[in-house]
Structure 1
Amino acid sequence: MDTAVRARTTGGGRGVLEGAFALLEALRRHGDEAGVTELAVACGVPKSTAHRLLEQLVALQAVERRGLRYRLGPQLYRLGQAWQPHPGLRAAGRLPLHRLRGGCRCTGCGPPPGAVWCWRCCARSGP
Structure 2
Amino acid sequence: MMSSHAGAAFKIGKAGRFHPPDGQELDMAVPAASRPDIGSSMLARAALILYSFNTSTPELSLMDVVRRTGLPRSSVHRILDQLVQLKGLERTGAKYRLGLRLIELGALATHQNWLRDASLPYLHHLHSSTGALVHLSILDGHEIVYLEKIGGSPDNRIPSRLGGRQPAYCTSAGKAMLSFADEDELDEILKAGLPARTPFTITDPHAFRRELAQIRERGVAFDREENYRGIVCVAAPLRDATGRAIAAISLAGAPSRIKLQALIPPLLVTARQTRHALFVPGHRGPVPPAEPPRPDRAGQVWSGPRMR
Q: Please name the residue that 2:113 is paired with.
A: 85
Residue 80 (structure 1) shift: 1.2
RCO (CA 8 Å, sep 6+): is it higher in 1 or 2? 1
Using a 3 Å threshold, how does the CA distance of structure 1 residues 17 and 86 change in structure 2: closer, same or farther?
A: farther
Residue 92 (structure 1) shift: 5.7
Counting helix residues as a fraction of each chain, which structure ranks higher? 1
Using a 3 Å threshold, how does the CA distance of structure 1 residues 68 and 78 change in structure 2: closer, same or farther?
A: same
Q: Say whether 1:68 aligns with 2:87.
A: no
8 Å CA contact retained: 1:33, 1:70? yes
Matched residue type, 1:85: N
Residue 68 (structure 1) shift: 1.4
List gaps (5 residues or longer) in structure 2.
Answer: 1-32, 125-281, 287-308
Q: Please name the residue that 2:36 is paired with.
A: 9
With the length of structure 2 as denominator, give the TM-score of the two structures. 0.27
* 1:27-82 deviation digits (Å, cap 9, x = unpaired): 23552211111101111100111110000000011101111111111111111122
* Same amino acid, percent of matched pairs: 29
After the TM superposition, which segments of 4 or more aligned residues of structure 1 sit over 6 Å from their partners? none
Counting strand residues as a fraction of each chain, which structure ranks higher? 2
Count of equivalent residues: 95
Equivalent of 2:59 in 33, 49, 56: 33
Name the Cα RMSD after superposition.
3.2
With the length of structure 1 as denominator, give the TM-score of the two structures. 0.60
Using a 3 Å threshold, how does the CA distance of structure 1 residues 65 and 88 change in structure 2: closer, same or farther?
A: closer
Which of the pair has more CA radius of gyration?
Answer: 2
Q: Say whether 1:114 aligns with 2:114.
A: no
- Cα distance in 2 between the residues matched to 1:65 and 1:42: 18
Matched residue type, 1:9: P
Matched residue type, 1:114: R
Matched residue type, 2:284: G
List gaps (5 residues or longer) in structure 1.
Answer: 1-5, 96-111, 117-127
- Cα distance in 1 between the residues matched to 2:40 and 2:122: 39
Look up the SS of the partner of 1:61 in the other structure. Answer: coil
Matched residue type, 1:15: S
- Cα distance in 1 between the residues matched to 2:73 and 2:115: 41
